[in-house]
Structure 1
């Protein structure tokens, strides 16, 4: 059972260096729309891997854009996108999640020059929904990783998970972490400012309710054991750490979830500050062997406020792709599962297929 939920972050929980730049207009809200993480296309969720659907007519093409997809202009030769025409067999998907803004707050906003330029060099969707119009952060993270609507698993607010055996606000729902574990697909969560592995509670700029792995408690304790091992502190741009070590050593997992701290993710700080951090962070990914070898896809998403900002990056994504198709967090989950041959969970089964739109 799930209970004892709290609706928002406690005041005063952020580090001093963040407080002076807090955006008072933004609070942890999560809008839940039934098509959030995985673009909707009817798909059979069998017990084995699902087959990739043929590209839709809405897919952006260099010389013949469709009515719902357009091409932006001008990319540089150093662009991380448009390097190949045929999608390879992806070995890595990196999902980086920011907080609490609408598409127009970021993309084409002068406060976010890096995100805007990266979207122009790669791709973005202008009609991306979160996991539900009434939800704050946590249910969106749950939807993104389990395919379940928050009300279906009893998590409709930003609540405290509690350490085992406490199950005050947890779920036994199947999830991408469990799927990966059972099929030999590697997965890690990298949480900036997290004090230790699979940390319950908050500290510095770390927020528990932005870390979905700590809320899964099924599979006979398997979810919790996996969290203890693979839900790790990210490290920092200046000091290195787990994520940067994995990039440098070419030991990146197949699926990587990255959550910046509560300033860098634009939750407590302004869009410009998050964009400045991103301008230093993403080039580290694009310079890694995993990306340079042409086998990595990057999904840069915000958690809520439909239509949410997003930037889709891969060597095969056609530069300047802009999709107006109705896709969602469930579409993103579907894309990840199909890339690695996993059955579709929950609302991922039936979500719009985003892979043809961005040539993934």
Structure 2
């Protein structure tokens, strides 16, 4: 349960730490040889979530869990106080400054030194980024005015409010912008973005969309991202998530107890800054660092019997030579220990968790990175009849995008729009498309499916394509025909694809007899969840429990289920199978679903009938599914 309070945090805390004494009383930090000195640190302050509601909750917080799994995740991190504001003071000044609530004291009433002032006084720089409400522009530093009429220039808006229209706003989005960041940046969103007033999926998306680019840049540019919380959801333990991600961060889960003072002490030791208060007795975080950093390879998808080539990227700050090893590679692939090149021809379908390790051959320093490598099976488009809106010449026909040869390609005329279309031969349930672009790529395009090659349904759309290899996962759509429909070229040439790969599995529920406990109206019948059309849906009455049931026609072994929820989703539900439609066996239970598209893998059960049995709605509406897709044999 959230405790209502005014939205106060970094902005309020910094605005109130003013009237700095002329002489700093704290002792200088001793040199910390075990700590790196990042060029940039970005600290993102989230709000009011327990450790267990974030870490491990990959359905609702997939990106933060990606950071935790690929960085350093602290399993015993704690806030200092409830509610929020004292924790901001702890992180910025080494003390809660005697505050026990989130009622801001009068400006100028707290006479305390702070981290921003320390950084500036020692030749470094600081900025805070805020959203929706006034950021921390009024902090009084020793050599800057910090008043309401003369705000400091170091503070930025994440989103420009009307009062500052025309000013530079927003967190950077490219390498040049990241390189121009100050030494230390604090960032905090509004109530929805920070998770204080909004939900976990919304906050997770905000972190990914705002800081995801910086996070990957940081790994290869001696920089660091910290995602932490002010407090948990008002429990006595005050147990909160904290993740470090970036250059030199050794991947793992760390069990030592840390808090805001530990984080402040670590930053001070990195730059040789004086201590402020309780941070002087805190233990800096020293065990997560390595000279070796591995760039995140990201999720990989390769078709069965296709060749794969992935060049691993690593940096050793010590200047040593790296040797490489890997576990969990798909069958047929090996890694070159000297170059870090993974290559070969994939010979077996399935999903693998690959763990790669880079080791400094001289010092023994090492780091690891883990990622998923999917081999979804045969490419449904390979050597299937392929046509296009145009071909640049006879040397670049449409079928060369589906011939399985990475050295041949299709190219179109130099005009918009253009399309390339594949006849899959029969209706297929599509979940993944892989586009390997030549220099002539699509900036804006759609992936569309059709049952007749005339009426098309869009299952993916983008206006910001970047070329290269684009692997589009989590798609939901059924059809005999599939096409890439390009509306804006990203280069002055035409559209050009080395390969257009399509993956999926037969949907056992497709057009099978489907019934439900209730239907909100005749416009939302049960059968709309299994008709393969992503624009029609089943909706129930506004009550618990509700169910949607499919007759698969004969006994089937079920290995996976995909639920494509409309806004009205099931928070708690079970997937059940039955031989007779009366006696049910539960093969999956969810108690905290976040809606959206849920792909439930690793299921084990058999039956002629399968159903989603919802026991708790996630909203005030009923249950509503765009698609109920069933995979197996």
What TM-score do you get using the length of structure 1 for normalisation? 0.64
In the aligned structure 2, how far is the partner of 1:294 from the partner of 1:229?
25
| Structure ranking higher in strand proportion | 2
Q: Where does residue 127 of structure 2 map in the other structure?
A: 188
In the aligned structure 2, how far is the partner of 1:235 from the partner of 1:247?
20
How far apart are residue 298 of structure 1 and its match? Answer: 1.1
In the aligned structure 1, how far is the partner of 2:175 from the partner of 2:51?
29
How far apart are residue 26 of structure 1 and its match? Answer: 5.1
Q: Where does residue 294 of structure 1 map in the other structure?
A: 221
Q: Which of 263, 266, 290 lines up with 1:332 in the alignment?
A: 263
In the aligned structure 1, how far is the partner of 2:208 from the partner of 2:45?
15
Q: Where does residue 70 of structure 1 map in the other structure?
A: none
Q: Where does residue 65 of structure 1 map in the other structure?
A: none
Partner-residue secondary structure (3-state), 2:206: helix
Give the number of the structure whose alpha-carbon radius of gyration is greater. 2
In the aligned structure 2, how far is the partner of 1:264 from the partner of 1:196?
15
In the aligned structure 2, how far is the partner of 1:217 from the partner of 1:248?
29
In the aligned structure 2, how far is the partner of 1:248 from the partner of 1:130?
34
Q: Are positions 1:178 and 2:122 aligned together?
A: no
Q: Where does residue 313 of structure 1 map in the other structure?
A: 245
Q: Are positions 1:158 and 2:102 aligned together?
A: yes
Bigger relative contact order (CA 8 A; separation at least 6)? 1
In the aligned structure 1, how far is the partner of 2:240 from the partner of 2:6?
12
How far apart are residue 356 of structure 1 and its match? Answer: 2.3
How far apart are residue 150 of structure 1 and its match? Answer: 3.4
Query: CA 1:333/1:234 → structure 2, altered by over 3 Å: closer, same or farther?
Result: same
Q: Where does residue 86 of structure 2 map in the other structure?
A: 139
How far apart are residue 197 of structure 1 and its match? Answer: 6.6
Q: Where does residue 46 of structure 2 map in the other structure?
A: 98
In the aligned structure 1, how far is the partner of 2:171 from the partner of 2:270?
22
What TM-score do you get using the length of structure 2 for normalisation? 0.38
| Large movers: runs of 4+ above 3 Å | 24-30, 45-49, 194-197, 216-227, 245-249, 357-360
How far apart are residue 171 of structure 1 and its match? Answer: 1.3
Partner-residue secondary structure (3-state), 1:150: coil
How far apart are residue 158 of structure 1 and its match? Answer: 1.6
**Structure 2: runs of 5+ lacking an equivalent:** 8-24, 161-165, 233-237, 292-633
In the aligned structure 2, how far is the partner of 1:252 from the partner of 1:221?
19
**Structure 1: runs of 5+ lacking an equivalent:** 1-23, 31-44, 55-86, 199-213
Q: Where does residue 341 of structure 1 map in the other structure?
A: 272
| Structure ranking higher in helix proportion | 1
Equivalent positions of 1:1-360 (< 5 A) are: 25=2, 27-28=4-5, 47-52=27-32, 88-109=36-57, 110-132=59-81, 135-151=82-98, 155-160=99-104, 167=108, 170-195=109-134, 198=137, 214=138, 217=140, 219=142, 222=145, 224=147, 228-235=152-159, 241-244=169-172, 248-249=176-177, 250-288=179-217, 291=218, 293-305=220-232, 306-319=238-251, 321-359=252-290
> Over aligned residues, Cα RMSD in angstroms?
3.1
Partner-residue secondary structure (3-state), 2:209: helix
| CA offsets 1:219-265 (integer angstroms, 9 cap, x no match) | 597555896322221237xx982422796432100010001111110
In the aligned structure 2, how far is the partner of 1:29 from the partner of 1:222?
27
In the aligned structure 1, how far is the partner of 2:152 from the partner of 2:51?
34
Query: CA 1:235/1:116 → structure 2, altered by over 3 Å: closer, same or farther?
Result: same
Q: Is 2:47–2:196's contact at 8 Å kept on the other side of the alignment?
A: yes
Partner-residue secondary structure (3-state), 2:204: helix
Residues matched between the structures, number? 260
Q: Is 2:73–2:242's contact at 8 Å kept on the other side of the alignment?
A: yes
In the aligned structure 1, how far is the partner of 2:102 from the partner of 2:151?
19
